[in-house]
Amino acid sequence: MNTYTERNRALLQFIITPTILLTAALLGGLRIDAQTRQFIFIAPPLVTLVLAILLGSLFIRAGAVDLRQWLSIEQPALTNLSHLLTLLSLFFASAQVFNSVLPESGLLHWMFAFFFLWTLWTNQFSLFDPRRLLKSLIVLFGTAFVLKHLLVSGFYAPAGGWFKWIGAALLQGIAIDVPAFAPLTGYISFFALVLYVVGLLLIGQEPLRPEASSSASLAVKEVALPANQTYE
């Protein structure tokens, strides 16, 4: 591995990945008011923090994040600190991405939250590998995004349209409290999701370890393997 490769990998892991995840966290709670076009910052509700913890647990169970590689007593404190900050960025990005695709209040908020909780809870007991988990998450967030930013916001769009007409017919007599946001909010949410997925792809790579300890741990693994055992 040449100097550039190592430097670029270090840049990617220590600077670019946390930046991408934090940007997803920043955009996840940002909305634009439909009438005044002013920013509205929505801090992550408690339920999104719970969802982020469940998702984090899923990452660990699926092997997308190997905590022993990210945080280890064999690594220098600086490396551990850097990895910890990246993992914290991942946690807050997850919470904010949930915040971005959850309706802000009312019945729909709790319905969406319930379905997320249900999905993540049942997934805890499924067999996942990192790639399948990523695909599953893209589908999960993509569906929630379409439901919230295309369907539900279409129902309540001030300009009207087909969705509004259908919504009025279907939900007649049901009061669903949905705040009106400018269409730009959907774009912001979309970019937050894209950044989050990119962040997940980057996180999925094995973290950089200091040269000495890395080679030492590999040597230990080789010694520990029996002679007839092969890698899958």
Partner 1 sequence: MQRKLVQISGIIWTLVYAAIIVWLYATEPRSLKEVATNSQVAAGAYEINQERFNNALALFHRDQFRAARDEWAAADPAQKDSRTQFYLAYAWYREGWGRVYYDNASFKQGLEAVNRAISLAPNGMLTVDDPQLQIHTAAELKTELEQGTETSWKDLSPLKLFRQRK
Comparison of 78 and 194: residue with beta carbon closer to partner 1? 78
* Minimal distance, residue 82 CB to partner 1, in Å: 5
Comparison of 130 and 179: residue with beta carbon closer to partner 1? 179
* Minimal distance, residue 3 CB to partner 1, in Å: 8
* Minimal distance, residue 30 CB to partner 1, in Å: 9
Sequential DSSP letters for the chain: --HHHHHHHHHIIIIIHHHHHHHHHHHHTEEEBTTT--EEE-PPPHHHHHHHHHHHHHHHHHTSS-HHHHS-TTS-HHHHHHHHHHHHHHHHHHHHHHHHHS-SSHHHHHHHHHHHHHHHHHHTTS---HHHHHHHHHHHHHHHHIIIIIIIHHHT-TT--HHHHHHHHHTTT-------B-THHHHHHHHHHHHHHHHHHHHTSPPP--HHHHHHHHHHHHHHS-TT----
By CB under 8 A, name the binding residues for partner 1. Answer: 3, 6-7, 10-11, 13-15, 18-19, 22, 25-26, 29, 36, 38-41, 43, 78-79, 81-82, 85-86, 89, 208
* Minimal distance, residue 49 CB to partner 1, in Å: 14
* Minimal distance, residue 142 CB to partner 1, in Å: 25
Comparison of 25 and 133: residue with beta carbon closer to partner 1? 25
Comparison of 37 and 68: residue with beta carbon closer to partner 1? 37
Comparison of 15 and 218: residue with beta carbon closer to partner 1? 15
